[in-house]
Structure 1
Amino acid sequence: MTFENSKYSKRFAYTKEVFSFGILYATKYFVVSELNEGIHVDYDIASEIISRFSSKINDDTKIVYVANRFNSYSSNPQLWVDFNNDYDFLIASAIVSYSDFSYLNASLEKQFFNKSLKRCNSLDEALEWALNLKEFKNVNQN
Structure 2
Amino acid sequence: MSTNFLEKSYLTTHELAIGTFRFYKQVVVGRVREGMQISMDNVLPLLALSWEAYRDTSVVYISDRKYSYSLDPTMYYEVQKLAPHITGYAWVVYNEINRKTAELEARFVQCPKAIHHTMDNALEWSVNLLENKGAN
| Both proteins in one fold, TM over 0.5 | yes
Identical aligned pairs, as a percentage? 25
- Name 1:20's counterpart in structure 2: 17
Question: How far did 1:50 drift?
Answer: 1.2
Conserved 8 A contact 1:36-1:71: yes
Conserved 8 A contact 1:131-1:137: no
Kindly provide the CA deviation profile for residues 107-136 of structure 1, in whole angstroms up to 9, marking residues without a partner as x: 111111111110111111101100011135
- Name 2:34's counterpart in structure 1: 37
The structure 2 residue matched to 1:130, chosen from 126, 129, 132, is 126
Count of residue pairs brought into register by the alignment: 132
The structure 1 residue matched to 2:66, chosen from 65, 70, 84, is 70
RMSD: 1.7
Kindly provide the CA deviation profile for residues 77-107 of structure 1, in whole angstroms up to 9, marking residues without a partner as x: 0111111233310111001111101110111
Question: How far did 1:55 drift?
Answer: 2.3
- TM-score normalised by the chain length of structure 1: 0.84
Unaligned stretches of 5+ residues in structure 2: none
* Aligned counterparts of 1:97 and 1:117: Cα–Cα separation in 2: 14
Give the letter for the 1:57 counterpart: Y
Moved over 6 A (4+): none
- The 5 A counterparts of 1:93-108 are 93-108=89-104
Conserved 8 A contact 2:58-2:135: no
Question: How far did 1:57 drift?
Answer: 3.3
Give the letter for the 1:96 counterpart: V
Kindly provide the CA deviation profile for residues 46-77 of structure 1, in whole angstroms up to 9, marking residues without a partner as x: 1121123332233x221000001111111220
* Shift in alpha-carbon separation, 1:37–1:136, aligned structure 2, 3 A: farther
Unaligned stretches of 5+ residues in structure 1: 1-5
* Shift in alpha-carbon separation, 1:42–1:136, aligned structure 2, 3 A: same
